Structure 1
Amino acid sequence: MARYCFCLQVKPERMTEYAQQHRAVWPEMQEALRETGWRNYSLFLRDDGLLIGYVEADDLGAAQAAMARTEVNTRWQARMAEFFTGLDGRGPDEGFVLLEEVFHLEEGK
């Protein structure tokens, strides 16, 4: 399974509300993520609004496409879009920047 890391920018004045929304992610959204191949998905928020995401998937593009076909994702992305800058009309799930992995410590090696 491949590892992916990405970043987005949350509006600094909306960080508290953004974090609150993610403490109560809808159960149907969580289930859709699982069903479409998202694994070990985590979000980390720096105090200036930089959001770093980490996810494992067999194929991130396929997982994103599968999520895009769900009704719950359409609702969630519409709700979350207002928290971000620099999306240029794209949803957060389409507007993130993938980061290159430059090191990974393998377990037990």
Structure 2
Amino acid sequence: MKCRMFSAFRLKPESVPEYVRLHQQVWPELLQVYREAGITQISCFLNGCDVVVYSEYEQEVYQQAKESLSHNSIELRWQALMQTLRDPYFQVLRFEEIFHMSALEGNL
């Protein structure tokens, strides 16, 4: 089953250009790690210093790979780098999906 995840966080103002640059050149090996973990889509959106991230993943694959992903050296390196760019005083927000149009299409 395909699942969707949405989160938001804030960057330090001086980190915005570096965050954009890094996401224009995401490491190919990181993308491979994500694919192997069942993550099929990641989109990042920027508004000033605020970032929202939308992800899609295959639930069965992701649930099995989640633990190994949290110990993967490539993922840990990327997340450590991202952490240096984030505003440490802004708590990451995670959102619960309560509506998706395609979920209703079978009922129409």
The question of 1:76 aligning with 2:78 is answered: yes
Identity %: 28
Q: How does 1:1-109 map to 2 (within 5 A)?
A: 1-47=2-48, 49-57=49-57, 58=59, 63-86=65-88, 96-106=92-102, 109=105
Uncovered stretches (5+) of structure 2, i.e. residues with no partner: none
RMSD: 2.5
How far 1:72 moved relative to its partner? 0.6
| C-alpha distance in structure 2 between counterparts of 1:28 and 1:61, whole Å | 20
The number of residue pairs the alignment matches comes to 102
Amino acid corresponding to residue 70 of structure 1 in structure 2? N
| C-alpha distance in structure 2 between counterparts of 1:12 and 1:62, whole Å | 36
| C-alpha distance in structure 2 between counterparts of 1:19 and 1:61, whole Å | 29
Q: What TM-score does the superposition give when structure 1 sets the normalisation length?
A: 0.78
How far 1:107 moved relative to its partner? 8.1
Partner secondary structure for residue 69 of structure 1: coil
Uncovered stretches (5+) of structure 1, i.e. residues with no partner: 89-94
| C-alpha distance in structure 2 between counterparts of 1:102 and 1:80, whole Å | 28
Q: What TM-score does the superposition give when structure 2 sets the normalisation length?
A: 0.78
> Structure 1 residues 108, 100: closer, same or farther in 2, change over 3 A?
closer
Higher helix content, 1 or 2: 2
Tell me what 1:91 maps to: none
Partner secondary structure for residue 101 of structure 1: coil
Aligned 8 A contact 1:38 1:63 in 2? no
